[in-house]
Amino acid sequence: MVNETIIQNWIFKEFILPFLLIFAVVFAVLEKTKIFGEDKKQLNAIVAFVVGLIFVGVAYPKQVVGNMILFLTVSLIIVLVFLMLYGFVASDLKDGYKAEGWMKWAFLIIISVAVIGAVIWATGFKSEFFDILFGQSWSTSFWTNFLFVVVIVVAVAVVLKGAAKKE
């Protein structure tokens, strides 16, 4: 038998949390905008309470808001992980070391690819994604040629940049 906590109970998930969210948001908006006037907390609370009750009584808006909140939380975590990783490698240290501009861009690209890869892995989308990119009959020759072109472009860029510095 699986133990269920109060937070996992359907009443809590389907009614209490959505009601509290909508009540708090509507109350905060009414307090900030002062639609009903100054010092009308009771009236704002009653209106927010009624709006919250109407909200939990209808299924579709509750589902839309629930999906949006889930998207928001996942997005915030992804952005937080990205910013933490980039902050570790691109920030200036107290000892006076400052990363070059090209190093910051290189780390930005590496971290972006790593975070995208982590999201693909964490969502379980990796098998379908990798099958599309690497499991096809054409993929071996394509990726070999792609890597070869990237190496040539990088080599030409380094040579041209070196030649531009000498002039």
Predicted TM-score of the model (pTM): 0.59
To the nearest 10°, report the CA torsion of 67, 73, 78, 80.
160
- State the pLDDT at residue 5: 83
Res. 6 pLDDT band, cuts 50 70 90: confident
**If we measure between CA atoms, which residue out of 135, 129, 159, 134 comes closest to residue 146?**
134
- State the pLDDT at residue 79: 92
What are the φ/ψ torsions at residue 40 (nearest 5 degrees)?
A: -115, 50
- State the pLDDT at residue 43: 94
Q: How far is CA 65 from the centre of its chain?
A: 17
**If we measure between CA atoms, which residue out of 4, 27, 152 comes closest to residue 144?**
152
Pairwise CA distance, residues 63 & 115, whole Å: 28
pLDDT digits (tens, 9 = 90+) for 131-147: 777 788 888 888 889 99
Q: Where are the domains of the chain?
A: 1-57
State the number of CA atoms in the 13 A half-sphere of 109 facing the CB: 5
pLDDT digits (tens, 9 = 90+) for 23-74: 999 999 999 999 998 989 999 999 999 999 999 998 888 888 888 988 999 9
Pairwise CA distance, residues 44 & 49, whole Å: 8
Pairwise CA distance, residues 61 & 148, whole Å: 51
